[in-house]
Structure formats: C-alpha cells, structure tokens
Amino acid sequence: MNNERRSILKMLSIGALAQSQISNVFASSAGKALSGVDSSNQKHIEELFRKSIVIDGLVIPKGWNQDSFEALPKSGYTGFATSLTSYNLKLALNSINEWHQRIEDNPNKLLLATTAADFIKAKKENKTAVLFGFQNSTMIERSIDNINLLYEKGTRWIQLTYNQRNLLGDGSTERTNSGLSDFGIEAVERMNELGIIVDLSHCGPKTTDDGIHFSKTPASCNHTMCEALHRNHPRAKTDKQIKALADKGGVVGIISLGYMLGPKVRKETTLETYIDHIDHAVKVGGIDHVGVASDF
C-alpha cells in the first residue's frame, strides 16, 4: 500500500511539473521513478490525475504567450495561483488589468477564480482557473484601504513579505527576525475580513509564526519546503510551523525547484528528493494540508 501511495505521489508530482520549463534533471528522474510502476497501476494513476482538481500553488506568469496556452492542456491543471507585479500599487493594478484582459480575450481557456467554487466550475468547463495574488505586500504602500481596492480587482492571496523586510514584517533573508509590525497585524486583519489568503512562503521565522497566530482564517505557505530535510535554508519551514499551519486549516505547497529542495549541485537533487518533502509534510501536517507548487 505504501509503495502504491508513493507511486501515485510520483505521478501527481510529474503532472504538477508538466510545463515547458521542466528541467532535464527532473524529467529524467521522472522516467526512472515510474519505470517500476506496472501498466495497470500507471493507467489507474493517470485516470486519477485526469479526474482530480489540480491546482499549482504558484506560477510565474511573466512573458505569457502562445506557448503558455499550449502548455496548459498538457499540464492537466485545473488552476493556478499567479505571482503578479507587486512593486507598487500602480504596477500591481496594471498587472491585474493585463490578466483581466487576457481572461476576457480567452473565455474558452481561462476563468478568473475569486472563490473555491470557481475551480470546480473550471474543471467542469475544461478551463484553467486563475487566482490573482502577489509575492509581496509592497503594493499596499502605506494605506490599509489599498487592500480593499486590490480585493475588488480580484486579488485573493497576498504574501506578507518577500525575502527583505517591508512595512508589514521581516522577510526570510533579513538580518533581523522581528515578526509582524503593528501595520502588518492590521493588514492581516483586513485580509481576513475581506477573504484574502494570508501567505507566508517568503516570510522570516517570526513573521511566519505571527502570520499563523494572528490570522483568524487559515493561512498558507503556497511554495516552500521542509526545513527538516533541507537544514538552515531561510525559505524552509519547520515541522512546528507546518503543524501549526495545518492545525488552523492552512496549506503548505511544496516547491519543485531542485536547488530549493536539496544541495545546490543539481544532479544531487532528484524527483525523489521532491517526493520526500511532500511525504514529510504529509506526515507532519496531514494529507489534506499539503499541496504542490512549481514556482516556474
């Protein structure tokens, strides 16, 4: 049973990685990983994947073009969370408007996701749901009310910090570890009121802890990995954090970038390394609280 479960995990992970940017290292590892799966099991796994609602926790949509559209049906994605431009409010709104136009121009392919029901709708209509969000909160600038505007434009998740400190808190590579500011706590409260997911993927240790603690609704780390398997990496989350997030209903999305999962020497990080992180997170937080994220 355990071997079959790991085989399913392997196939699901391959599907989550099925984009044109997939590295040769992961591609070759995938072939080896599935070589021991008999044809009947592989057919069952493929059918399970086809029927499932598959959401990529983070996609980088810069340079979106026709190749991107052609990759969507191959990926089997039901939807994905975007990483839009967050430098300031003006650029953030421009980025949102570009995606609104793209969705409007391709109604047979794309669907704007503002609720969980939209992913179910996308699956039924054979479309891809797009969840607007940002990997930083700098576009909020100095006004909490800007969060309202972003919500009205379709934003449904915001990562509180990137690697560096901002007005809300400390990032994962900041020298200090001070946690959320008063402004940051106020921002979390407003996001909770509106229905914007609080994301903590790039946040520093104390900011991550504070985000989980102060958020009244389930928070997320939509693209991260397990510190227990990649020690001392500033972007990894500890077992305690994964457990605390899951206990409040949150979700951890395991990132699929090789250099984030293990040694910087790429040949030492394989698909099996990726599965190990998924498997570990499931053991710590429970299978209902673990997802996948390409970060491509």
User: What are the residue boundaries of the structural domains of the chain, listed by start?
Assistant: 53-293
Return the pLDDT at 13.
41
Return the pLDDT at 296.
86
Return the pLDDT at 266.
61
**Strands 79-82, 251-255: parallel, antiparallel or unpaired by DSSP?**
unpaired
Q: Indicate the pTM of the whole model.
A: 0.88
Q: DSSP states of 124-138 as a string?
A: HTT-EEEEEEES--G
Return the pLDDT at 28.
38
Residue ranges of the alpha helices (H) in 35-164?
39-51, 66-75, 89-105, 116-124, 145-152
Whether 212 and 253 have beta carbons less than 8 Å apart is answered as: no
Return the pLDDT at 40.
81
**Sites in the chain below the pLDDT cut of 70:** 1-37, 264-267
On the CB side of 269, CA atoms within 13 Å amount to: 17
- Under CATH, which number does the domain 53-293 receive? 3.20.20.140
Return the pLDDT at 36.
57
- Exposure string of 220-237, with b = 16+ CB inside 10 Å and e = fewer, is bbbbbbbbbbbeebebbb
Return the pLDDT at 267.
67
SS3 159: strand
Encoded tokens for 164: 């560096």
pLDDT digits (tens, 9 = 90+) for 9-53: 444 443 343 333 333 333 334 444 445 567 888 888 889 999 999
C-alpha to C-alpha distance for 102 and 84, rounded to whole angstroms: 14
C-alpha to C-alpha distance for 180 and 178, rounded to whole angstroms: 7
